Structure 1
Amino acid sequence: MFFTYILVGFLWLLHWLPLPFLRGLGWLLGRLLYALGRERRKVALINLRLCFPEKSEAEREDLARRHFVAFSRAVLDRTLGWWASKERLERIIRIQGAEHLNDPEGKPIILLSPHFVGLDAGATRISMYVVGCSVYSNQKNPVFNKLLYDGRKRFNDTVLFSRQEGMRGIIKAMKAGHQFYYLPDMDFGPKESIFVPFFGVQAATIPGVARLVRLTGAKVVACITRQVADGYEVEVMPAWDNFPGDSVEEDTAFVNRFIESQVLRMPEQYFWLHKRFKTRPPGEQRFYK
C-alpha cells in the first residue's frame, strides 16, 4: 500500500505539467508499453487484422503503435481530470453541441460514448453541464478505486452504479432526470449478449441501448471525444431519429455500424486493447489463444 501512495503522489505531481510535457511523457510511455506489453500488443494486432483485413501488416503495426501512444496519453491526462482546476479543464476539453445534452421535451437521455481513449475526458467535461449517471467497475486496489470513484463525482453528485447492480437503478435514475453516460461496446460474455456484426465480424454485444430506449422512451445522443494536440474535443451530436426500429437485433446492429463510422474517423483512438471478439458463436474458433 505504501508504494500505491507513492505512485498517487507522483501522479498528482504530473497534473502541474504543461500539456505538451505531459503528452511527451505519454508518447514515451506508449512506445515503452508497445515494446514490452507483448500480450496486449498481440490483442490489439488481432483486433486490427479482423477489422482491417485490407491493410498491410506494417500498416496495422503502425496503427497499433499510435494507439498505444494515444492510450498512454489519455491515462496520464486523467491526472488533469482528478486535480486540475475547472478553468484549465474548460480550456483543454472543448465541447460542441452541449445543447443536445438535454431533451426539450424532458425525455430521458442516453449519452452513447464508445470506447475511445478520450471518453474519461469527455465525461469530465459533460459533468460540468449535467448531473448524469453511469456504471463503473470496482478496482481491486482500494486507493485507486476511491481515486477513480471520486474523480467521476468531482464536479457534481454523479450517480454511479457498480456493474454488478444491474439496470434497475439506472432506469430509475434516468426516469428521475439523470442522463445515462453509456459505453455500449465491450464483450461481457454470452450472458444477455447477442451476436451482431462489428466490422464484419460477429461480436457479442449487450443490446442495452435498444432495450433501455424501449423501457424508458429515452433519446440516444452520441458523445464522441477526440484527443487532439492541445487537449480534447467533445462532439455531442443531435438525438437519433427513427430509433428504435423494428427489433432489438436491428437496433443493436445499427449501434455497431454507428461506432464503426466513428472508428474510421480516428482508428488509432479506439480501444483495441480490449478482447472485443472473445466470445464466439457456438462452434466457432477463438481468436485469442
Structure 2
Amino acid sequence: MRTLLLQLSLKAIAALPLSLVQIIGSFFGLLAYVGSKQYRSLFRPQYERVVKLHGLPCKLWEAIRASGMLFSDSLWIWHNPEKALKLVEVTNWDVVETAINEGHGLVMLTPHLGGFEIIPRVLAQHFPATILYRPSRQEWLNEVVETGRAYPNMHFVPTNLNGVRQMTRALTRGEAIGILPDQVPSGGEGVWVPFFGRPAYTTPLPARLANRNNTPVVMFTAKRKKIGEGWLMQATRLTPLSENANIAAAELNVAIENAVLVAPEQFIWSYKRYKHPAGAELPPTP
C-alpha cells in the first residue's frame, strides 16, 4: 500500500509542468542536504574539491538544488517522454549518425548529469538501444525506476553475465548499447584508476565490448537549460580505448571528467564514487 501511494504521488508530481517539477526537485535537493549529515559529508567535499582543482567558481547551493533536479528531471522524462523529446536540443547529431552507420553498433556512455534519462530516448527514435541497468536494493525504488524507464525500442538488461551477453549480441546486430560509466562496479569487475585525482574503482567493460569489433564509443551529456526549458544534448566520440584494462579505465575516467566539466553543478556529487566495493582489491596507496 505504501509503495502504491508513493507511485501515485510521483505520478501526480510528474503530471505538473516541467518548471514546477524542477522547482520541487530543487527543494528536495536542499532538504536532503540540510537534513542529512551523511549526504553533506559526501556532497560538499567531492564537489568543492573538483571545482577547486579546475579553478572553477564554487556554486555550492546551485549544485545542491541541481542534485534534487536529477531525480525530478528523470521522473518527468519517464512520464512525459513525448513532451520531453520536444524540449531536448540535440547538437552534433552527425557524430552519432557517422558512428552507427559504420555498422559495428554503438557504445553509448551517459554519466549521471542533468537530464541524462532523455539521452537513450533520443537514440531510441532512430535505432534499438540495450541499456545495462543495476536494480536498486530498495524494492519500491526499483519498481518506480523500472516502470518509468520502460520505453519502445529500449531494452534493459541486468549487470551480470547474461546482461553482458545480450549487449554483445546487440552490438553484433549493429545496435546501440548504453552504460552508466560513473557507477562503481562490483568487486572483481573493475580496476583502480584516478577520477579527478583520486583512486576510483572503475569498470573497463565499455572498452572490452567496444574492442571486440572496433565499435565506436560516444560520450553523451544532457545539460539542463534554464528552469522549464529542457536540455542540451551533446555527443563526443572518444578515440579508441586501450586493450589494457587499466589504461582503458583511466581513459574512460578522463572522458567522464570532461563530460562532468560541461556542467559541474549538475553532476551526482552525493554518490559514493570512491567507495571500496566488497571483493575488490585495496586501492593503491599514494
What TM bracket, shorter-length normalisation?
Answer: 0.7 to 0.9
Given residue 70 of structure 2, which amino acid in structure 1 is its aligned partner?
A: A
The match for 1:240 is 238
- Name the SS for the 1:8 alignment partner: helix
The match for 2:109 is 112
The match for 1:69 is 65
In structure 2, C-alpha distance between the alignment counterparts of 1:275 and 1:45, rounded to whole Å: 12
In structure 2, C-alpha distance between the alignment counterparts of 1:99 and 1:121, rounded to whole Å: 18
> Residue 104 of structure 1: CA displacement?
2.0
> Residue 258 of structure 1: CA displacement?
1.7
Identity, in percent, stands at: 22
> Residue 224 of structure 1: CA displacement?
1.0
In structure 1, C-alpha distance between the alignment counterparts of 2:204 and 2:197, rounded to whole Å: 18
Residues 14, 79 of structure 2: 8 Å contact kept: yes
> Residue 144 of structure 1: CA displacement?
4.4
In structure 2, C-alpha distance between the alignment counterparts of 1:277 and 1:144, rounded to whole Å: 23
The match for 1:254 is 251
Write out per-residue CA displacement over residues 81-124 of structure 1, whole angstroms, 9 at most, x where no aligned residue.
232261x2222222223343342221121011122142112223
Given residue 115 of structure 2, which amino acid in structure 1 is its aligned partner?
A: G
Q: Which moved more, 1:254-263 or 1:93-102?
A: 93-102
In structure 1, C-alpha distance between the alignment counterparts of 2:111 and 2:75, rounded to whole Å: 21
Q: Does 1:80 align with 2:76?
A: yes
Given residue 153 of structure 2, which amino acid in structure 1 is its aligned partner?
A: D
Residues 93, 122 of structure 1: 8 Å contact kept: no
- Name the SS for the 1:119 alignment partner: coil
What does 1:86-97 correspond to in 2, within 5 Å? Answer: 86=82, 88-97=83-92
- Cα separation, partners in 2 of 1:200 and 1:140, compared to 1, 3 Å: closer
Q: Which moved more, 1:247-256 or 1:143-152?
A: 143-152
Write out per-residue CA displacement over residues 180-217 of structure 1, whole angstroms, 9 at most, x where no aligned residue.
11111222254121121111212211111221122232
> Residue 49 of structure 1: CA displacement?
5.2
Q: Give the root-mean-square deviation of aligned CA atoms.
A: 2.6
In structure 2, C-alpha distance between the alignment counterparts of 1:147 and 1:191, rounded to whole Å: 29
Q: Does 1:162 align with 2:158?
A: yes
- Cα separation, partners in 2 of 1:284 and 1:45, compared to 1, 3 Å: farther
Structure 2: which 5+ runs fail to align? Answer: none
Residues 124, 153 of structure 2: 8 Å contact kept: no
In structure 2, C-alpha distance between the alignment counterparts of 1:219 and 1:85, rounded to whole Å: 27
Between the two proteins, the alignment pairs up a number of residues equal to: 276
Residues 107, 218 of structure 2: 8 Å contact kept: yes
The match for 1:31 is 30
Residues 51, 201 of structure 1: 8 Å contact kept: no
> Residue 143 of structure 1: CA displacement?
5.4
Structure 1: which 5+ runs fail to align? Answer: none
The match for 2:191 is 194
- Cα separation, partners in 2 of 1:138 and 1:248, compared to 1, 3 Å: closer
In structure 1, C-alpha distance between the alignment counterparts of 2:138 and 2:283, rounded to whole Å: 36
TM-score normalised by structure 1 residue count: 0.84
